[in-house]
């Protein structure tokens, strides 16, 4: 193809990769919970909504940015601990499908509570980052997306450091490897679980803010989990690295497909294309990119 | 808990459950003369912002009529609400629950899906179904759909109105030749409905057209807007829904498309659609049938009579005069005036659904009458007849200045004559499929009690 | 609600010296007598249109999913997609094949759903657990896209919504709430009966073997792959027919968006809350899912309607519903059917008086 527009291709690719980072952000929240509790936490989307809505409502009531962030984070930690205490602990050793249904119930509660507390109004969220494109050799790149990517990278670095070097982190890995052995050597599982839920709350808060700035803070925010699920399938439910790489792959391939294949069938294929990519990949490697080999749950 | 107490609890729960279900909730007998509006509202869920605004405005207007005038000629207006969350089956449940109320004037679900599920049911019950600014386009044809009223604007008229507006900006319909327009539509039946009409108009006026789909819910539009940037159109028409709208505006800014060349349709025209987009929405223009703002006499009266007394329906007073609130108020005006017109013929009492239907089919409000109602410039006029259930509503365009909408055009008339044959073709096909006999003007005058 | 209530009366009958088999069958027979012989005459339109019709359609979908998830152990989040295939295929068969009886069209709708189910069941050969569950979401989004994208499926209707044809069976037309209820009841009875036969057959035992231990099943010579695909096909067939009932008998109209992910979750809830691997459970679960929110909303507006607006009430109901689901999963993880059986054992003659 002589007249193939390479700069346009690059633009789509870069845009897709940056969108992929946004998917990864949401996916990481799932991974944290899945690794320790073995449950696909469907309430992650609701948590994200709750965090963003709380933050934006606090800011609108005049709280400074940093304070609002801290208060929301504290609230997320409390919610995480509460979920661990009241929902997951009584359901220990139940089949994963039961746990999954419980997180669905949980998402009803959290969505309801978020709207009851803060109302159903649509809010704008301005993080103070200009979202104008800048030109890199003829390719437009969004500043905001770069910022989001940097934030995601920072968060992954922090989480990795936390799990590598802190006592809780070590415990987390022990639990993820073998909960019974971890219990046998006297690790306090509930404490570790609670900290993981708190970490997932933090991820939800960061993802909620970045997505909230893109979409506005409203009910539909909880739908971004649908973008994260194929990423999880591709990357493996239990791998943070997989979530990142999976996000990039899904983001890039769905955008390229929409632009180049979409025309052939009339467009709008992004919604399911990501799942097909993930599926096709899985047929070759059933445990995902970086997932553990044995995935025989449910 | 022993088995005994457990059983007792279970029996008690079952008893309460049965009692609650069999209770004829909300079906108080109409004591004095009253006209009832059952409201399938949605104040929760993804579309709550629209629901609270619209039903808030509707209730506010009914309340104003009761408080200020003591009802319509002494007939009190009443209403009851059932939450649907915009879900069809909840809408059906609400319909079955509320339909036994005495003296129902009309149904106003503000949801295409719920409206569709109700068409057979309300036709059997002979009660009007109002789908202001939305609904099934071919229900405009009163010969086939006697009880359905897509008042003011159906999707086809909206399309024609938008193209006429673009033409007026360019200096006339003949200037459209050679221009390029992209329509960005929501990947749903609603979004796709106008595809053939845009194609028809493109052919008629000679502009190039590209229609691009955004998959539901529309929270990712990078690839679509990159395609748009490459196509370099003169205008983009945004036929969006919910979260798709702010994301479109943000992504447009991100990919460098000028926002003042994006024209929104009637479900992309509210404050809720632009506020989340922040700066990126400044200069965005959208079609509307009712101007926004609180300066119209009728809105001022609502503030004075209701909100100042703490009786307004909106929780947040800042939303008074917003697009959805004003749409609700206009919807209230149209419903109340239909009752008033029907009362002039049938008497000042509780009317049957079919009598109110007659009222809607004679709902002719010229600009002078609209002014008398305190709604001059809020909306233009309406002219419903027995076979034209849309009523030739005019449209106008508003531009978002970062804090509020500002009207930037005159009242524009869609090309109704062009659209009518297309609508009739569709409605006649429906009539043939369902074995419906076309109604005549004489049929429409006959009213059952 | 009425169904559950009549079952209660049945089991409260005084003990009789009849053979155990008869005692066991008696409640079911009584239930059928009430469902066919009493309810159509005494129910009002609210009971049919708002409670029984959605209850029947969802119960049948629950029976279908239970075959797949409860018996064969494969989790699917794509049930609503198979419902959509069933509804739209039945609509098109009826529309495009002159003189085809509606019953056959619905049957063919089920067959189409089975074919699609088979295709989306293919990943089950390699995937398990949540990986499989999430990949069934591909069906969910793909089917909705196809049905929206190609307006041929909705007979070029401008707004993509289909209108249901009149319900006829053997020359009889079923009209009105009671008529459509009877139509749905016949379909549900027949298919549930067949499903009950199936789970007791060798195929049913193969399902369970694959669920409990795939490797062991393979060792004793069960064709695991074929069994899994068969489970997907049979389950999708029933779910497809349920979709046709939902569209034709209940709503009388349907757009693709009506079969969304929430509906899939709802059906999964029905199966889990009712009780896995129990056909009765699907009915219990559907009754709870349909009736419970209605009771909550009635009680809410009755007790607190004057204090709060309907938005606040509905959000509170959402919270209560979520909490009850969790509570239920904690207290009775084996589902309503386990609760019911325990209750019944206590009431059986010979045990201590209640």
The answer on pLDDT for C6 being more than 50 is no
Residues B342 and B440 in one domain: yes
Looking at every residue in chain A, the average pLDDT score rounds to 85
Under an 8 A CB cutoff, do B276 and A131 touch?
A: no
pLDDT at residue B9, rounded to an integer:
54
User: Between C145, C161, C299, which is nearest B20 by CB?
Assistant: C299
- Tell whether B246 and B330 lie within a shared domain: no
Cα torsion through B29, B34, B35, B39, rounded to 10: -60
Q: Is the pLDDT of residue A135 over 80?
A: no
Its sign, for the CA torsion C14, C19, C24, C26, is negative
**pLDDT on residue C321:** 85
B114 in any annotated domain: yes
Whether residues B224 and A258 touch (CB distance < 8 A) is answered with yes
The residue whose two tokens read 């849309």 is: B390
Q: pLDDT tens digit string along C308-353?
A: 776 788 888 889 889 988 998 898 888 899 988 888 888 775 544 4
DSSP classification of residue B129 = E
CB contact under 8 A, B220 and A132: no
SS3 content of chain B, % helix, strand, coil (to 5): 50, 15, 35
Calculate how close chain B gets to A249, using CA atoms only, in Å. Answer: 15
Q: Where exactly are the structural domains of chain A?
A: 24-224
Rounded to the nearest angstrom, the minimum Cα separation between C70 and chain A is 11
Q: Is a pLDDT exceeding 90 seen at residue B255?
A: no
| Domain ranges, residue B62 | 34-153+293-383+423-445
Q: What is the pLDDT of residue A157?
A: 85
Contact predicate A107/A232, CB 8 Å: no
Are residues B257 and B210 both part of a single domain?
A: yes
Least trusted range by pLDDT, from A278-287, C25-34, C339-348: A278-287
Q: Which residue of C has its CA nearest to A236?
A: C131
How much is the pLDDT for C156? Answer: 78
Of B44, B116, B426, the CB nearest to C161: B116
Percent of chain A with pLDDT over 90: 30
Residues in chain C within 8 Å Cβ distance of B137: 158-159
* Partner chains of A (3+ C-beta pairs under 8 Å): B, C
Best to test chain C binding among A39, A102, A230 (most C CBs inside 10 Å): A102
Residue B202: which pLDDT band, with cuts at 50, 70 and 90? very high
**C-alpha B219 chain-centroid distance:** 24
Residue B331, pLDDT > 60, answer: yes
Contacts of B10 in chain C (CB under 8 A): 343
Whether residue B367 is contained in a domain is answered as yes
- CATH number of the domain that residue B188 is part of: 3.40.50.2300
State pLDDT tens for residues B58-98.
Answer: 999 999 999 999 999 999 999 998 888 888 889 999 999 99
Give yes or no: residues B137 and B250 share one domain: no
Q: What is the C-alpha to C-alpha distance for residues C234 and C68, in angstroms, rounded to an integer?
A: 8
- Asked if the structure places residue B281 within a domain, the reply is yes
Chosen for mutation from C145, C252, C311, C344 (greatest number of chain B CBs closer than 10 Å) is: C311
Work out how many domains chain B is built from and give that number: 2
CA distance B174 to B239: 24
Chain C positions touching chain A (beta carbons under 8 Å): 69, 73, 75, 123, 126-135, 137-138, 141-142, 144-145, 149, 261, 265, 268-269, 272-273, 311-312, 315-319, 321-326, 329-330, 333
Q: What ipTM does this complex have?
A: 0.87
B393 inside domain: no
pLDDT at site B158:
96
Q: Residue B108's pLDDT band (boundaries 50, 70, 90)?
A: very high
Q: How many CB pairs under 8 A join A and B?
A: 116
Q: Which residues in chain C are closer than 8 Å to A234, comparing Cβ atoms?
A: none
SS3 label, residue B382: strand
Nearest-Cα distance to chain C for B97, in Å, is 6
- Determine if the peptide bond prior to B217 is cis (ω within 30°): yes
Q: Which of C42, C44, C45, C46 is the best mutation test for B, with the most CBs of B within 10 A?
A: C46
Q: What are the structure tokens assigned to A203, written together?
A: 């991820």
CB of B150 within 8 A of CB of B334?
no
Q: Which residue has the higher pLDDT, C328 or A166?
A: C328
Query: Does any domain span residue B4?
Result: no
Chain B interface, mutation test: which of A16, A59, A268, A275, most B Cβ atoms within 10 Å? Answer: A268
What are C222-266's pLDDT values in tens digits?
A: 999 999 999 999 999 999 999 999 999 998 888 888 898 989 999
pLDDT digits (tens, 9 = 90+) for C195-232: 999 999 999 999 999 999 988 999 999 999 999 999 99
d(CA A282, CA B44): 38
**Whether pLDDT at B24 is above 80:** no
Residues C31-53 have pLDDT tens digits of 999 899 898 988 888 999 889 99
Residues B271 and B403: beta-carbon distance below 8 Å: no
Instruction: From B142, B80, B88, B94, select the one nearest B111 (Cα to Cα).
Output: B88
Confidence of residue B420 (pLDDT cuts 50, 70, 90): very high
Could you tell me if B35 and B103 are in contact, meaning their C-beta atoms sit under 8 angstroms apart? yes
Q: In the prediction, which pLDDT does A293 show?
A: 52
User: Measured between beta carbons, which residues in chain B are less than 8 angstroms from residue A126?
Assistant: 278
Look at B276 and A123 and tell me if their CB atoms are within 8 Å.
Answer: yes
Cβ separation A120–B49 shorter than 8 A: yes
The answer to whether B46 faces chain C, any CB pair under 8 Å, is no
Show contacts of B295-299: CB within 8 Å, 24+ apart.
B295/B321, B296/B321, B296/B374, B296/B375, B296/B376, B296/B377, B296/B378, B297/B374, B297/B375, B297/B376, B298/B61, B298/B64, B298/B329, B298/B333, B298/B373, B298/B374, B298/B375, B298/B378, B299/B326, B299/B329, B299/B378
Instruction: State the smallest CA–CA distance between residue B401 and chain C in angstroms.
Output: 31
Separation CA A256–CA A8 (nearest Å) = 11
Which position has the token pair 């599926």? A279
Strand partners, B287: B397
B28 domain residue, yes or no? no
Taking an 8 Å cut-off on Cβ atoms, the answer to whether A233 and C135 are in contact is yes
In a domain, B435, yes or no: yes
B129-130 and B76-83 beta bridge pairing: unpaired
Within 8 A of A292 by CB-CB distance, chain C residues are none
Residue to test with chain B: of A49, A124, A210, most B Cβ within 10 A: A124
* pLDDT at res. C23: 62
- Say whether B272 and A218 touch across the interface (CB within 8 A): yes
C317 CB-side CA count, 13 A:
26
Mutation test of the interface with chain C: which of B2, B21, B58, B426, choosing the one with the most C Cβ atoms within 10 A? Answer: B21
Contact A40 C130 (CB under 8 A): yes
Measured between beta carbons, which residues in chain B are less than 8 angstroms from residue A266? 213
Asked if C315 and B315 count as a contact pair (C-beta separation under 8 A), the reply is: no
Q: Is the pLDDT of residue C272 over 60?
A: yes
Instruction: Tell me the C-alpha distance between C250 and C253, whole Å.
Output: 8
Q: Are residues B162 and B115 in the same domain?
A: no
Whether the predicted pLDDT of B423 surpasses 70: yes
CB C310 within 8 A of CB C304: no
Q: What is the pLDDT of residues B145-183, one digit of tens each?
A: 999 999 999 999 999 999 999 999 999 999 999 999 999
Task: Give yes or no for a contact between B297 and B305, defined as CB atoms under 8 angstroms apart.
Answer: no
Q: Which residue among B20, B48, B113 sits closest to C295, beta carbon to beta carbon? A: B20
Chain B residues touching chain A at CB-CB below 8 Å: 43-46, 48-49, 52, 187, 212-217, 219-220, 222-224, 226-227, 229-230, 242-243, 246-247, 250, 253-256, 272, 275-280, 315-316
Locate A247 and state its tokens: 């996000």
Return the minimum-mean-pLDDT range out of A224-238, B295-309, C52-66: A224-238
B311 shares a domain with B263: no
Look at strands B148-149 and B129-130 and give their pairing. Answer: parallel
Q: Categorize the per-residue pLDDT at B14 as very low, low, confident or very high, splitting at 50, 70 and 90.
A: low
- Identify the residue with better confidence: A255 or A172: A255
Residue C69 has pLDDT above 50, yes or no: yes
Whole-number Cα distances in Å, B117 to B123, B146, C67, C89, C299 = 11, 16, 31, 19, 26
Q: Are B89 and B95 in contact (CB under 8 A)?
A: no
Structural domains of chain C sorted by starting position, each given as residue range(s) with its CATH number in brackets: 1-42 (no CATH), 47-347 (1.10.3470)
Examine the domain organization and report whether B149 and B161 are in the same domain.
Answer: no
Answer whether C141 sits within 8 Å of A279, measured CB to CB: no
Distance of CA A211 to the CA centre of its chain: 10
pLDDT at A288: 65
pTM, two decimals, is: 0.88
Residue B8: what pLDDT?
54
Element (H, E) at B124: helix B112-125
The yes-or-no verdict on residue A131 having pLDDT over 80 is no
The pLDDT assigned to A219 comes to: 87
State residue C325 phi and psi, 5-degree precision.
-60, -45
Same-domain pairing of B127 and B185: no
pLDDT for residue C299? 83
Instruction: Please indicate whether, in this complex, the C-beta atoms of A267 and B43 are within 8 angstroms of each other.
Output: no
- Give a yes or no: residue B23 inside a domain: no
């Amino acid at each position: 193809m002589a007249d193939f527009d390479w700069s346009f291709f690059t633009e789509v690719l870069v845009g897709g990769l940056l969108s992929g980072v946004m998917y990864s952000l949401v996916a990481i929240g799932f991974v944290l919970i899945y690794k320790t509790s073995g449950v696909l936490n469907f309430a992650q989307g609701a948590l994200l909504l709750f965090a963003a809505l709380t933050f934006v409502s606090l800011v609108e009531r005049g709280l400074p940015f940093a304070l609002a962030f801290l208060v929301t984070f504290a609230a997320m930690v409390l919610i995480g601990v509460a979920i661990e205490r009241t929902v997951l602990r009584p359901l220990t050793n139940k089949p994963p499908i039961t746990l999954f249904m419980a997180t669905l119930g949980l998402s009803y509660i959290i969505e309801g509570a978020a709207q009851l507390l803060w109302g159903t109004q649509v809010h704008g969220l301005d993080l103070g980052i200009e979202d104008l494109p800048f030109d890199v050799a003829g390719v437009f790149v969004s500043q905001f997306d770069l910022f989001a990517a940097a934030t995601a990278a920072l968060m992954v670095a922090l989480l990795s450091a936390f799990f590598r070097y802190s006592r809780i982190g070590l415990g987390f890995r022990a639990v993820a490897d073998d909960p019974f052995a971890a219990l046998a050597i006297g690790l306090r599982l509930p404490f570790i679980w609670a900290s993981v839920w708190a970490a997932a709350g933090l991820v939800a808060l960061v993802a909620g803010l970045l997505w909230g700035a893109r979409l506005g803070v409203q009910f539909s925010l909880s739908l971004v989990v649908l973008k994260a699920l194929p990423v999880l399938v591709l990357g493996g439910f239990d791998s943070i690295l997989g979530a990142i790489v999976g996000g990039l792959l899904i983001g890039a391939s769905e955008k390229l497909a929409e632009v180049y294949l979409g025309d052939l069938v009339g467009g709008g294929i992004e919604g399911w294309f990501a799942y097909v990519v993930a599926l096709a990949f899985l047929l070759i490697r059933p445990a995902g990119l970086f997932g553990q080999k044995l995935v025989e749950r449910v | 808990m022993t088995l005994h107490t457990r059983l007792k609890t279970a029996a008690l729960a079952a008893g309460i459950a049965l009692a609650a279900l069999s209770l004829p909730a909300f079906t108080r007998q109409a004591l004095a003369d009253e006209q009832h509006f059952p409201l399938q509202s949605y104040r929760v869920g993804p579309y709550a912002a629209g629901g609270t605004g619209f039903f808030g405005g509707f209730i506010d207007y009914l309340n104003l009529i009761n408080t200020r005038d003591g009802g319509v000629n002494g007939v009190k207006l009443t209403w009851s609400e059932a939450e649907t969350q915009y879900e069809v089956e909840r809408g059906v449940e609400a319909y079955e629950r509320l339909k036994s109320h005495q003296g129902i004037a009309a149904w106003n679900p503000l949801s295409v899906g719920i409206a569709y599920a109700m068409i057979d049911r309300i036709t059997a019950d002979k009660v009007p179904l109002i789908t202001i600014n939305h609904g099934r386009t071919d229900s405009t044809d009163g010969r086939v759909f006697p009880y359905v009223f897509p008042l003011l604007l159906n999707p086809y008229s909206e399309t024609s109105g938008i193209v006429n507006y673009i033409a007026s900006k360019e200096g006339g319909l003949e200037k459209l030749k050679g221009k390029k327009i992209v329509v960005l539509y929501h990947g749903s039946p609603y979004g796709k409905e106008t595809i053939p009409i845009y194609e028809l108009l493109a052919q008629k006026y000679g502009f190039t057209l590209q229609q691009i789909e955004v998959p539901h819910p529309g929270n990712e539009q990078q690839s679509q807007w990159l395609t748009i940037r490459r196509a370099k159109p003169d205008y983009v028409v945004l036929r969006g829904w919910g979260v798709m709208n702010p994301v479109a505006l943000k992504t447009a800014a991100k990919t460098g498309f000028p926002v003042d060349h994006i024209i929104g349709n009637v479900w992309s025209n509210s404050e809720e659609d632009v506020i989340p987009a922040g700066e990126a929405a400044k200069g965005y223009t959208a079609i509307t049938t009712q101007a926004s703002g609180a300066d119209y006499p009728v809105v001022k009266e609502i503030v004075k009579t209701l909100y100042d007394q703490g009786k307004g329906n909106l929780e947040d007073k800042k939303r008074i005069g917003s697009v959805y609130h004003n749409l609700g108020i206009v919807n209230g005006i149209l419903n109340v005036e239909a009752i008033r017109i029907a009362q002039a013929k049938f008497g000042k009492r509780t009317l049957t659904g079919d009598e109110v239907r007659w009222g809607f089919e004679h709902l002719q409000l010229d600009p002078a009458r609209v002014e008398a109602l305190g709604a001059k410039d809020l909306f233009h006029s309406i002219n419903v007849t027995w076979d034209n259930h849309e009523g030739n509503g005019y449209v106008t365009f508003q531009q978002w200045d970062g804090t509020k909408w500002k009207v930037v055009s005159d009242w524009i008339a869609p090309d109704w004559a062009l659209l009518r044959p297309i609508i009739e073709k569709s409605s006649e096909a429906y009539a043939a499929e369902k074995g419906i006999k076309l109604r005549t003007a004489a049929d429409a005058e006959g009213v059952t009690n | 609600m009425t169904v559950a209530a009549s079952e209660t009366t049945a089991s409260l009958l005084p003990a009789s010296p009849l053979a155990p088999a008869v005692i066991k069958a008696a409640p079911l027979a009584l239930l059928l007598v009430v469902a066919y012989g009493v309810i159509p005459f005494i129910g009002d339109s609210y009971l049919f249109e708002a409670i029984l019709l959605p209850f029947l359609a969802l119960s049948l979908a629950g029976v279908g999913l239970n075959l797949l998830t409860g018996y064969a152990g494969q989790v699917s989040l794509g049930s609503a997609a198979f419902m959509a295939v069933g509804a739209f295929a039945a609509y098109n068969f009826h529309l495009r094949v002159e003189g085809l009886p509606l019953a056959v069209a619905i049957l063919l709708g089920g067959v189409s759903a089975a074919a699609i189910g088979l295709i989306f069941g293919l990943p089950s050969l390699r995937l398990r657990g949540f990986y499989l569950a999430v990949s069934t979401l591909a069906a969910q989004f793909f089917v909705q896209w196809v049905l929206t994208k190609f307006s041929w499926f909705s007979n070029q209707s401008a707004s993509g919504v289909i209108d249901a044809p009149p319900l006829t069976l053997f020359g009889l037309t079923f009209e009105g709430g009671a008529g459509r209820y009877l139509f749905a009841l016949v379909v549900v009875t027949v298919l549930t009966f067949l499903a009950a036969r199936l789970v007791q057959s060798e195929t049913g035992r193969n399902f369970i073997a694959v669920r409990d231990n795939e490797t062991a099943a393979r060792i004793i010579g069960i064709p695991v792959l074929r069994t899994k695909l068969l489970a997907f096909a049979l389950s999708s067939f029933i779910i497809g027919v349920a979709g046709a009932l939902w569209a034709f008998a209940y709503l009388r109209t349907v757009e693709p968006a009506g079969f969304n992910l929430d509906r899939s979750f709802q059906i999964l809830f029905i199966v889990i809350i009712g009780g896995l691997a129990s056909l009765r459970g699907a009915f219990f679960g559907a009754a709870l899912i349909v009736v419970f929110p209605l009771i909550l909303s009635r009680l809410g507006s009755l007790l607190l309607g004057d204090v709060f607006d309907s938005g606040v009430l509905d959000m509170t109901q959402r919270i209560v519903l979520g909490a009850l689901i969790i509570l239920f999963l904690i207290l009775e993880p084996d589902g309503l059917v386990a609760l019911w059986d325990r209750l019944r054992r206590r009431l059986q003659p010979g045990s201590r008086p209640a």
